[in-house]
Structure 1
Amino acid sequence: MATIIGGIGTSHVPTIGLTYDKGRTQEPAWAPLFNGYQPVADWLAEQQADVLLFFYNDHANSLFFDFYPTFAIGVSPSFELADEGAGTRPLPPIKGHTDLAIHVAESLVNDDFDMAVFQDRPLDHGCHSPLPLLWPHRPDWPGAVLPIQVNVLQHPLPSAARCFRLGQAVRRAVQAYPEDLKVVVVGTGGLSHQIHGERTGFNNEPWDHQFMDWLADDPQRLTTLTHADYIRLGGAEGAEVIMWLAMRGALSPQVRRLHQNYYLATTTGMAVVLYEDQGPEAHP
């Protein structure tokens, strides 16, 4: 059967992709961030993961506010990269895994998650900004991406607890898939930041570290926080860390934190964490 071997939490700041594409990753202002991804890339190469299952959000590049689903899953055999106004990134199309995606979609609906299903929609920086930092892409990606889009833009948003339960349901779906696949679950977004209003430029570094500690050791505590709590502590856009909770829900109750890197140099607290799954059991 398919197995979830680990989880990754990562920022998806668009300037990460821009800096990578321009070959500026070792400039002094950026090296602490990009060097922090190398242990994660090394672990993925060592484990030879087959699928990265991404919880991400679309920033109104493929999904728009006239019809913006709470949860949506992509089932295409491949995905183009969205042009977000500056041309498409110099990366190959992203491979999909149609059979696994269809299986997960059916399982989630049977598990009472009313999923929207999409094909032929490009993936935006919520997914592809960190992707080449995790996987090599020349001449092609080494595996497939299964994208699950979460609404963190247009209210009403799914609660933190709902996102955690989505991750639990994804775990059940993956473990019921009959093909032997190594799956790594990725949650993107955050950490603390706000890009509009009176608190533009807001960051909360102590909260970012507290969030990552609770995520590893006491994720249920994070499910009790409201959107207002997340916005107060991490800024309006910082509330998107509920996608990290979906990732954590897809992992075993006890995880081994293999790596963590945090860097605050722009308007966003940027981080990457790597967890190793510790067994077949699920969260109660």
Structure 2
Amino acid sequence: MAVVGAVLATTHHPFFYRETVLTPAEKRRPEAAEWKRKVEAYRETLTASRPDVLVMVGADHFHQLFYDNYPTFLIGKQPKYDATFHNEERYFGLPKFVLDGNEDLSGFMLQGLIDRGFDFAVSHELKIDHSITCAIVTVRPDADLPIVPIYTNIFAPPLASPSRFYALGRAIREVIEAYPSDQRVAVIGTGHLSLEIGGPRQFQSTAPDIEFDRRAVQWLADGDIDAILQNVTPEVLEAAGNATDGFLDLVLMLGVAGPGPAHYADHIELFQTTEAFFTWYPEGDPR
């Protein structure tokens, strides 16, 4: 059976590549060097798990999915995935990718998740946006492993509850571990902490709700799903910023990992948002 060697939960700041690679050193933000050091250290937590394939959880930022047809949960099933939309190249400076898929694992997961009560949509023509490519840039920049992409709806109400996202994470872990293969799988999911897009708290020098971020970072580092389910409601997320629902994908990743403290946890408070990095090793820390 397949092994889940690592579970990574992280935010996806689309300016990382531009600020730490494309911008000349003398023009970079003061925090760029520390940010780069933290990302490079985080990258090693994935490398240490020796993955063969990446199951990647993200969300479409209204590039392909819209209010008139936005499935709650979707999985891609393709031999190849084109990645990075033109506006992401233009505005964020993100590179383009063509990522290999793993159609067999995608199909197995689709059936297994449906059997466990999750009504997934499937796409055979999915293009990948920065919710996944940001993770590729930061933790696997060689883009040399096949992926299985999973998209969740964190943007178009009504949204599934935090407990439903957590339950999906548990189901994803169960299905991967039932996959008849000797492959080592890393599950990588990206989301948000407090975040404002297009609202009055956008483009500030800090995240819109630093206190929410600090509590959320501690909950995830501790693996405290009870505190999350007791404290995180739609109203709390909306009060923290109009795009803070992306935190639900980090709850999902805690579901994959299971309750318990992260083997690796770090964060950095930046312009517009807080970046955070968590890794769990279900088999024990290989480092």
Q: Is 1:191 paired with 2:196?
A: no
Larger helix share, 1 or 2:
2
**Counterpart for residue 105 of structure 1:** 110
Q: Is 1:79 paired with 2:88?
A: no
Question: CA-to-partner distance for each residue in 1:129-183, whole Å, 9 max, x for gaps?
Answer: 131210131xxx2312211101111110111111001101111100110101211
Change (3 A) 1:83 1:6: same
Aligned to 1:37, the other structure's residue is in SS state helix
Alpha-carbon distance in structure 1 between the residues aligned to 2:86 and 2:14? 10
- Contact 1:56–1:149, Cα closer than 8 Å, also in 2: yes
Change (3 A) 1:252 1:96: same
The code of the aligned residue for 1:157 comes to L
**Counterpart for residue 183 of structure 2:** 181
- Of 232, 235, 242 in structure 2, the residue corresponding to residue 236 of structure 1 is 242
Alpha-carbon distance in structure 1 between the residues aligned to 2:175 and 2:229? 21
**Counterpart for residue 10 of structure 1:** 10
Q: Unmatched 5+ residue regions in structure 2?
A: none
- Contact 2:170–2:258, Cα closer than 8 Å, also in 1: no
Aligned to 2:87, the other structure's residue is in SS state coil
**More deviation in 182-191 or 109-118?**
182-191
- Contact 2:84–2:96, Cα closer than 8 Å, also in 1: no
The number of aligned residues is 274
- Contact 1:71–1:116, Cα closer than 8 Å, also in 2: yes
- Contact 1:84–1:124, Cα closer than 8 Å, also in 2: no
Structure 1 length normalisation: TM-score? 0.88
For residue 53 of structure 1, report the CA deviation from its aligned partner: 1.5
- Contact 1:203–1:269, Cα closer than 8 Å, also in 2: no
List aligned pairs for 1:117-132, cutoff 5 A. 117-132=122-137
**Counterpart for residue 203 of structure 1:** 208
The code of the aligned residue for 1:14 comes to P
Question: CA-to-partner distance for each residue in 1:248-280, whole Å, 9 max, x for gaps?
Answer: 10113334x23322222211111222222257x
**Counterpart for residue 224 of structure 2:** 218
Alpha-carbon distance in structure 1 between the residues aligned to 2:137 and 2:178? 29
Q: Unmatched 5+ residue regions in structure 1?
A: 280-284
**Counterpart for residue 282 of structure 1:** none
For residue 15 of structure 1, report the CA deviation from its aligned partner: 1.4
The code of the aligned residue for 1:154 comes to A
Alpha-carbon distance in structure 2 between the residues aligned to 1:220 and 1:6? 22
**Counterpart for residue 269 of structure 1:** 274
- Contact 2:84–2:133, Cα closer than 8 Å, also in 1: no
Alpha-carbon distance in structure 1 between the residues aligned to 2:77 and 2:11? 24
List aligned pairs for 1:32-181, cutoff 5 A. 32-85=34-87, 87=89, 89-137=94-142, 141-181=143-183
Structure 2 length normalisation: TM-score? 0.87
* Coordinate RMSD, CA, aligned: 2.2
- Contact 1:6–1:276, Cα closer than 8 Å, also in 2: yes
- Contact 1:13–1:129, Cα closer than 8 Å, also in 2: yes
Percent identical: 26
Q: Is 1:246 paired with 2:248?
A: no
Alpha-carbon distance in structure 2 between the residues aligned to 1:241 and 1:230? 8
Change (3 A) 1:190 1:87: closer
Question: CA-to-partner distance for each residue in 1:214-238, whole Å, 9 max, x for gaps?
Answer: 2233113313432112222x32212
